[in-house]
Amino acid sequence: MSTDYSRDTIFVGGEWAPTKGTGHIEAISPVTEEVIATVPSGSREDVDAAVAAARRAYDTGPWPRMSVAERVDAVGRLRAAFERRKEDMAQAITAEMGSPITQSRTIQTTVPLMMLDEQREIALNTYPWSELRQSASGNALVRRYGKGVAALITPWNAPMMTVIQKLGPALISGCTVVLKPASLAPFSAYLLAELAQEAQLPEGVLNVLTCDRAEAEYLVLHPGVNKVTFTGSTGAGRHLAAKCGELLRPITLELGGKSAGIILDDADIPAAVEAMRLLSFRNSGQICTLKTRVLVSKKRESEVVEALGQMVASMPVGDPLDEATHIGPMVSEKQSDNVERYIDIGIREGAQLVTGGLGRPDGLNQGWFVRPSLFAGVGPESRLAQEEIFGPVLSVIAYDDEDDAIAIANNSPYGLSGSVFSQDIERAISVADRVKTGVLEINGAPFGFHAPFGGVKESGIGRESGWEGFEPYVELKSIGLPKEYADSIA
């Protein structure tokens, strides 16, 4: 791609400013393995400047003092700018992290637009910004208002989806934001800053800087920050949560997953297997909610394994800019090596390799490509079944009966997502009720962005999306009212 994504500035206080540090982050193409751009590696002084700009915008600027409708309108302008440059955003995401272009045009860019639509609708029509509560014990006017400065730490795998999931509610609530995108996905964040300029957001409302891990932690713990939200690995999330706990600073965590797709005996097997094409392999297997454990009864195991093997083998691997590609490269050499390591672990643990395996896919001599792999006969206690791989590797685990399936699904440190496949929806719901996870789909049906999203156990703390997605960014204040006044406004 001829587009030059290199930058030598950060976005602070509504302007592009030179960094005070001298370091740079090299963006390496996952397709060519070559450096395709450099962006600044922000220093502590740059973090100070970004937080100070967000602090001014919250403490003395117009943003928190606008009405909700005015902020919704401003976010609507940002949405319109995003839609005008949707293809630019899709191309940037494919360039930076290798998402197949057809998926960059859908889950990476169309989904964020859908999120913004639902966030704005919830803010105007559903969310209780101000409510009167009356009882025998008293009368209260309950108000919700923005917490202050929010630090958003976002991942590389779905850069705009995770940013917008946090950014929309934060801004609409009246918070101001410092966004620290993943170093592996800086292009899309810089483009978002350009869109904020086009939308004429007040200065300091959104600030964007790239930096390394130490400076990101400095941002999280900065005295000018009121709220932190982080999407990433469980290990990093646990570390940041401990640090925020010392400060009594609220933090929302969306972390790892090892989700189960439970295929009940009455399921439509061809439909369930085809659903796994996206439920288990979208974004080249680099999504935390993917169903990477397929649970099937022993009497239908061979049928499902054969069908899954054919499906996995049918997915073209290659150039993410080719619209025929289903599986693109891993984001980095480190990630590619990690996926290969787990494929080797599966083989050494004695699981049956149905398709895929070690080594590059045929005809791909450069780029961080791996072979989409399916394992059968996987033990529920094995590393292949217990550890998050974050690549195109799927495990089939056999169960004895429904209770056994649920026990296997719950035998995980994670609890982020899941699926149940059955032609009996009531039965599927009863199984879903017993799976310890934050979200779950029946026959792959999406739950939408008006519903809360998040995990249990080591998959996170808190919820995003839905009206619940506004809660992390607001403070509540209860104002006691004289009964006569409360009665008059009731």
Among candidate residues 311, 283, 372, the one with its CA nearest the CA of residue 101: 283
Q: What is the DSSP letter of 109?
A: T
- Torsion of the alpha carbons at 333, 358, 307 and 429, rounded to the nearest 10: -50
Query: Is-contact 12 207, C-beta < 8 A?
Result: yes
Distance CA 79, CA 117 (A): 8
Q: Which residues contact 69 (CB under 8 A, 6 or more apart)?
A: 124
Q: How far apart are CA 295 and CA 469, in angstroms?
A: 31
Residue count of the chain, please give it.
490
Report in angstroms the alpha-carbon separations of 14 from 10, 91, 194. Answer: 10, 25, 10
Which of 175, 182, 131, 191 is CA-nearest to residue 157? 182
Rg (Cα) of the chain, in Å, rounded?
Answer: 23
Of 175, 211, 244, 288, which is the active-site residue? 288
Catalytic residue (choose from 96, 215, 254, 301): 254
CA–chain centroid gap for 153, Å, is 11
Measured CA to CA, the distance from residue 455 to residue 411 in angstroms comes to 15
288 is catalytic: yes
Please tell me the distance from the alpha carbon of residue 355 to that of residue 373, in angstroms, as a whole number: 5
Distance in angstroms (rounded) separating the CA atoms of residues 41 and 53: 19
For the question of residue 211 being annotated catalytic, the response is no
d(CA 348, CA 354): 14
C-alpha span between 311 and 260 (Å, rounded): 18
* Chain mean position to CA 111: 11
Q: Which helix (H) or strand (E) holds 117?
A: helix 110-125
Residues recognised as catalytic: 254, 288
